[in-house]
């Protein structure tokens, strides 16, 4: 039994934390608050700044660094973090799932949890016990580059899926060596910046924050999310990293968050160099520490400045102690002091990217895809299809298919892409070729580029389409048009893609559009003229298999949009949960409605809704609204329907959205089968945020709407009264 309390695994975590804290020098404490870029001479940084955490390193190097840390005066283990986003995708052989927006269209928390569990497992073997995910931004303006990283536009759905992901990563006990800590980011309002411009100002009121942007974070914290990352941007002139109201009053006090807060990349330094709210670096460091940041990502100057500030009496050491306490608590909980310090690279060899994980990636890809149009039931392709033309810039593009946050991974090495020797990614072309087998001839040509407006290849593509029974045109965007620092002002099909599509369609050959893209694009022409449209998002390494499986009818698509498609960029934002207006139910030059609405998605079968009934028509505090509806599969094949329940607070003290999602359920129905679906809405979920910033349920009439999408024509309606 060790005689030093903090080294004794039998002692309660809190005792171990206090014991260790009492032994630490100021420099050792401030070092624990520093997270540095592990790609930049980490040994030196460890020596000079006694850093407690590194990001963007994994594998062998974590062993070396842990070894050095173990040999230091107190032997405090290091914590390694990485963006293990839709898979531990920076690791060369890891499983890559669809991006977060794609996953959300499954409306399946169990699936999202499984993705988290597998990602955690794969990451943990490489020495990484912390991911910077989930992103819990509520999508608004589609011009913003990071839309692909969100779970869509509805705060309730984001909260449900975000909590599922937290559970998947963290499991039931962080001491399990194959769990990793989640990080709810970017706290908060980052997705609400003006003009969709990344990291600029978000002009949001507190009421707006509390109603739309904070609820998913509150849900993730309630689900036990271990860490939270502050956002880059400012709100009402205050950078999130300096926002004590957000970090202390709401997060730590009101929600009782006992994990730690990490800044985003050099947020502290940027308050001085870019946002210019702090005239010196020292001032930025002081403001960040006082506002409630615990770990500081990649601001190396934090170390010297914080030490100096405390020594000169300008920063109360209590802020440092509080931060270190929170960090150490989690290092203990992760078992890093006791047995989980080192990576298990050998053990990981059979686990990372194994067949079982790949099957899960395929399942996720299937469930993430949304069928947007299917004129005359062109899909699934019939046996009479013998010649398929696979056309378009994203038909065989590994990078677009895998999506963001994969860029250093082995799956993406250019040489692999060029010589096709890397077999781990199934592109659309690969998938269609494999599935078609000898049954039909598959011919292909790229036709155009997603960036370059050149049209030289289009004639050849049209030729190919003309000679085919069906043309599959794979268009969308790519990483040059998508992701962090890649906001766009135009949401139309870029490069030569629109002309390509028009030329193919003009041949008269039935045309299927497959979209591989990180965000909804404005595609009114395609919506009108293509015969079928399948939204595949960035579907991960099994994406091509899933797309082919859906096109050929092996699987019935079941995804529903979690984000609305615009007719035109000028409609931004065009989310379903708008507040009512009376002068503006349309633009003079286009509708106010989206092209494809939140909740919308087709199937190869047809579902009918009937007999909406409420168990009670009156609801008091503490009670739950119980609703039933009969859903019937009226088609010839089995299918999954996502039943959605929306509510409108008919009269309220402040304007509230015309509808808000409050419950949903996925149901599996055989041909001809009818199921009674029961949905529940607890009283508190009916709350609004009033002018005094209180969450209250206001008495009065509510409308309840149940159906297959957020569109009025897809909903059955009734009312109930709240007391």
Nearest-approach distance from CB 43 to ligand BGC, in angstroms: 21
The residue whose two tokens read 């309220």 is 652
Q: Is 185 in the site for ligand BGC (CB under 6 A)?
A: yes
Nearest-approach distance from CB 193 to ligand BGC, in angstroms: 13
Per-position DSSP letters for 279-331, written without gaps between them: SSHHHHHHHHHHHT--BEES-THHHHHHHHHHHTTSS-HHHHHHHHHHHHHHH
Nearest-approach distance from CB 88 to ligand BGC, in angstroms: 14
Per-position DSSP letters for 496-551, written without gaps between them: THHHHHHHHHHTTS-EEEEEE-SS--B-HHHHHH-SEEEE--S--TTHHHHHHHHH
| Bond before 341 cis per omega within 30 degrees | no
The one catalytic residue in 141, 148, 219, 264 is 264
Residue list 124-163, contact with ligand BGC (CB under 6 A): 132
Nearest-approach distance from CB 83 to ligand BGC, in angstroms: 5
Q: Please say whether the beta carbons of 320 and 26 come within 8 A.
A: yes
Judged by CB under 6 A, the number of residues near ligand BGC is 7
Instruction: State how far the Cα of 500 lies from the Cα of 455, in Å rounded to an integer.
Output: 8
The values of phi and psi at residue 228, to 5°, are -135, 140
Closer Cβ to ligand BGC, 104 or 266, answer by number: 266
Residue list 235-264, contact with ligand BGC (CB under 6 A): 264
SS3 of 618, please?
strand
Instruction: Enter the DSSP assignment of 190.
Output: G
* Start-to-end Cα distance in the chain: 60
Could you tell me which residues come within 8 angstroms of residue 224 by beta carbon, excluding any fewer than 6 positions away? 166, 167, 170
How big is the chain by its Cα radius of gyration, in Å?
26
Nearest-approach distance from CB 332 to ligand BGC, in angstroms: 24
| Bond before 188 cis per omega within 30 degrees | yes
Nearest-approach distance from CB 648 to ligand BGC, in angstroms: 34
Residue list 36-55, contact with ligand BGC (CB under 6 A): 55
Q: Which of 37, 83, 141, 153 binds ligand BGC (CB under 6 A)?
A: 83
x/- letters, 459..498, toward ligand BGC (CB under 6 A): -------------------------x--------------
Instruction: State how far the Cα of 656 lies from the Cα of 31, in Å rounded to an integer.
Output: 47
Instruction: State how far the Cα of 282 lies from the Cα of 261, in Å rounded to an integer.
Output: 20
| Bond before 380 cis per omega within 30 degrees | yes
| Catalytic residue flag (residue 264) | yes
SS3 of 183, please?
strand
| Bond before 573 cis per omega within 30 degrees | yes
Among positive and negative, which fits the CA dihedral 241, 244, 248, 251?
A: negative
Could you tell me which residues come within 8 angstroms of residue 104 by beta carbon, excluding any fewer than 6 positions away? 112, 150, 151, 152, 157, 158, 161, 368, 562, 563
Catalytic (active-site) positions:
264
Binding site for ligand BGC (CB under 6 A): 55, 83, 132, 185, 264-265, 484
């Amino acid at each position: 039994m060790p005689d030093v309390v903090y080294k004794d695994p039998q002692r309660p975590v809190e005792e171990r934390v206090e014991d260790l804290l009492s032994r630490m020098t100021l420099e050792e404490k401030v070092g624990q608050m520093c997270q540095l870029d592990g790609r930049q001479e980490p040994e030196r940084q460890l020596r000079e700044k006694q850093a407690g955490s590194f990001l963007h390193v994994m594998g062998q190097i974590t062993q070396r660094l842990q070894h050095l840390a173990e040999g230091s005066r107190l032997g405090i283990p290091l914590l390694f973090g990485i963006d293990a986003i839709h898979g531990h995708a920076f690791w060369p052989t890891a499983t890559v799932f669809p991006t977060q927006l794609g996953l959300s269209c499954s409306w399946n928390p169990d699936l999202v949890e499984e993705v988290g569990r597998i990602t955690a497992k794969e990451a943990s073997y490489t020495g990484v016990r912390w991911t910077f995910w989930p992103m819990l931004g509520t999508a608004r303006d589609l011009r913003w580059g990071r839309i692909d990283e969100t779970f869509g536009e509805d705060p309730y759905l984001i909260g449900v899926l975000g909590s599922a992901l937290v559970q998947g990563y963290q499991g039931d006990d962080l001491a399990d060596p194959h769990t990793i800590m989640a990080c709810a980011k970017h706290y908060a309002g980052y997705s609400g910046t003006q003009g969709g411009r990344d990291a600029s100002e978000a002009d949001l009121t507190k009421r707006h924050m509390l109603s739309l942007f904070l609820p998913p974070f509150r849900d993730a914290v309630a689900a036990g999310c271990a860490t939270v990352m502050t956002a880059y941007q400012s709100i009402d002139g205050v950078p999130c990293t300096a926002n004590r109201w957000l970090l202390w009053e709401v997060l730590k006090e009101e929600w009782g968050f006992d994990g730690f807060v990490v800044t985003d990349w050099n947020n502290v330094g940027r308050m001085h160099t870019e946002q210019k709210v702090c005239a010196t670096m020292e001032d930025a460091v002081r403001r960040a520490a006082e506002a409630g940041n615990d770990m500081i990502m990649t601001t190396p100057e934090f170390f010297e400045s914080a030490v100096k500030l405390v020594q000169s009496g300008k920063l109360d050491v209590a802020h440092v102690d509080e931060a270190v306490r929170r960090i150490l608590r989690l290092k203990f909980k992760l078992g890093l002091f006791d047995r989980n310090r080192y990576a298990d690279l050998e053990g990981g060899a059979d686990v990372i990217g194994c067949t079982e994980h790949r099957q899960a990636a395929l399942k996720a890809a299937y469930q993430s895809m949304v069928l947007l149009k299917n004129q005359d039931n062109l899909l699934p392709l019939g046996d009479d299809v013998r010649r398929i033309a696979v056309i378009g810039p994203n038909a065989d593009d590994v990078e677009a298919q895998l999506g963001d946050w994969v860029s250093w991974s082995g799956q993406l090495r250019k040489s692999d892409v060029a010589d096709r020797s890397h077999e781990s990614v199934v592109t659309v072309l690969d998938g269609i070729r494999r599935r078609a087998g000898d049954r039909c001839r598959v011919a292909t040509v790229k036709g155009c580029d997603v960036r370059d407006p050149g049209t030289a290849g289009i004639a050849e593509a049209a030729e190919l389409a003309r000679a085919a029974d069906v043309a599959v045109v794979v268009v969308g965007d790519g990483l040059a048009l998508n992701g962090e620092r890649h906001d766009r002002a135009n949401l139309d099909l870029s490069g030569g893609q629109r002309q390509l599509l028009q030329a193919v369609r003009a041949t008269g050959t039935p045309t299927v559009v497959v979209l591989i893209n990180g965000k909804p694009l404005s595609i009114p022409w395609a919506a009108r003229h293509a015969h079928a449209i399948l939204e595949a998002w960035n579907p991960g390494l099994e994406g091509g298999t899933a797309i082919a499986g859906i096109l050929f009818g092996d699987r019935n698509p079941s995804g529903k949009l979690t984000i609305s498609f615009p007719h035109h960029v000028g409609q931004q934002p065009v989310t379903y949960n708008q507040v009512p207006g009376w002068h503006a139910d349309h633009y003079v030059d286009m509708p106010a409605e989206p092209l494809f609405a939140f909740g919308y998605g087709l199937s190869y079968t047809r579902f009918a809704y009937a007999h909406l009934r409420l168990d009670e028509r009156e609801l008091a505090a503490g009670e739950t609204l119980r609703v039933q509806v009969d859903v019937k599969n009226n088609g010839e094949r089995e299918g999954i329907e996502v039943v959605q329940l929306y509510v409108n607070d008919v009269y309220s003290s402040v304007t509230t959205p015309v509808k808000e999602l409050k419950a949903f359920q996925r149901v599996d129905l055989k041909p001809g089968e009818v199921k009674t679906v029961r949905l529940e809405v607890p009283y508190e979920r009916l709350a609004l945020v009033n002018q005094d910033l209180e969450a209250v349920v206001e008495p009065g009439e509510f409308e309840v709407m149940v159906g297959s999408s957020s569109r009025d024509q897809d909903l059955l309606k009734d009312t109930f009264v709240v007391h």
